[in-house]
Structure 1
Amino acid sequence: MKWNSYIKDFQSYLKIERGLSKNTIDNYSFDIERLCLFLSENQIDISPLKIQEETIQQFIYAVSSEVNARSQARIISGLKSFFGYLIFEDYRLDNPLELIESPKTGRKLPDTLSVDEIDALIKSIDLTSNEGERNRAMLETLYGCGLRVSELVSLKISDLFFEEGFIKITGKGNKQRFVPIGSLAQKYIQVYKETVRVHLNVKKEHGDVLFLNRRGSQLTRAMIFTIIKDLAVKIELNKKISPHTFRHSFATHLLENGADLRSIQLMLGHESITTTEIYLHLDRKFLSEVINNFHPRKS
């Protein structure tokens, strides 16, 4: 059994036991296949059970001239996971990448939108169509609650607790959290439910899903990306944005207006507060104002 069979087993493991998305699994697979291509081009006939650190180092050196440090680090991480899986399944005893260090990449600051830009995007939605009411409700929820795109498309009607002012979110690793939802997002969700969703021929398996396409099925992640991209083009926004940009903007605007990191962490569903701390780097002017306003030795 050579590489393909082990890769397929690894893909099944990532999907069934790790519960990873297709996009993530495809990224892992691409990194392994890149290593396979390197071996083929250099006529190195070796199985994943026998390959050693020296050969992996040669591969890393070869790709380092083709990709940036961040991509190189991702490749190393993906291969470590693959060989870690082989150890987990008792196919081999060691990980050939154990001593291989990833290059220093620095932390990329997330792109954000201003409040005016978010307002402009939402105002550009064509509300004469059913999809317009849905899209307005979705973007208000995406920004108002700081959701991941996967959390938005899987949001259920039974997850809405408007009287209490919260929605229940199922995030990474099926971990659940309650996130506050503002009156504006609540209002537009209600409008969508009562004027659009109620008239859809909803598929039985998607009966509890909140945001649906015109055929009554759950929206895909790709559809959300397309909706946002089209709106950005419509208002001639000179930024490359995605659903995640709304999440970043949610966290940034909360921080700028005085929210504490721990609260933001809980709302975003970050397992570690170090992940949330990246937002501290976004507005140094704001941090200076915090010192000037609150530190006892400010002057």
Structure 2
Amino acid sequence: MSSVLYDAQGPRAKRRNAVFTVVFLLALAALLWWVFSTLNDKGQLEWALWKPFFTGTEAWTTYIWPGLQNTLKAAVLAVIIALPLGAVLGIARLSDHAWVRVPAGIVVEFFRAIPVLVLMIFGLALFAEYTNVSSDDRPLYAVVTGLVLYNASVLAEIVRAGILSLPKGQSEAAMAIGLRKNQLMRLVLLPQAVTAMLPAIVSQLVVIVKDTALGGAVLTFPELLASANTMSGYYGANVIASFTVVAVLFIALNFALTSFASWLEARLRRSKRSTGAVLGVEDVDDINAAEAGGPHKTDGV
């Protein structure tokens, strides 16, 4: 069956694709066998190295769970601060006033161009030199600072692009019935843009979760990945086993985040379906009166 975008495969194309599929599966099987045999020859698949994760709770309560708590703490704090800050910066870049638009653009471009690790190191030095934050808390503060500055700048660009992607007719129609600029942004553009931006926002949230590992690698922040190093040394250099468990936890955490975002996006799309109602000038006057705290217009008034 053919369409404008797709031509049905003929017998030769089907045979060629079948051959490519078989070759790929054989190559993948050979690669997996090579990895398995290499690990087995190095003794990395011995039960003694994997036993701590399947028998007893010491590895989980002493190393994995505290590391996971610190990872989630840093990620949640960064998300809570970066999301609203990114939204404000993104909207500010769309301002009609140059004194708002230009500084916001400078801030976004500056912090978006600096590697997040550099921002974390700078934050650690800043808290050590100019604040009374204890040495135990400085790594957490530095990690959150770096994540917020970088990801807020990236989220600002996502917000700006999401708003600009909406049809111009939305803005023109809203202004034609008398909505002010802030009402246009709050009542028309942002509610529609959020749904369009959600996949990109979730991708950036996944990046935030993963980038917490930079704090463990450089700033001695005791997050999940850093706990794997300590754990592998304690249990007899079971590096492969420890990092495999940590990798599975990161995959599960990010998969849960993306699954929740997919559910939320579908729910938002269902809730924002048009009811067919038309917003007239009288309705806009009611909105303006409500925001000003004055009486609403009614029929016959």
Q: TM-score range by the shorter chain?
A: under 0.3
Point out the structure with max Rg over C-alpha. Answer: 2
Structure with the greater relative contact order (CA < 8 A, sep ≥ 6): 1 or 2? Answer: 2
Q: Name the TM-score, length of structure 2 as normaliser.
A: 0.24
Larger strand percent? 1
Q: Name the TM-score, length of structure 1 as normaliser.
A: 0.24
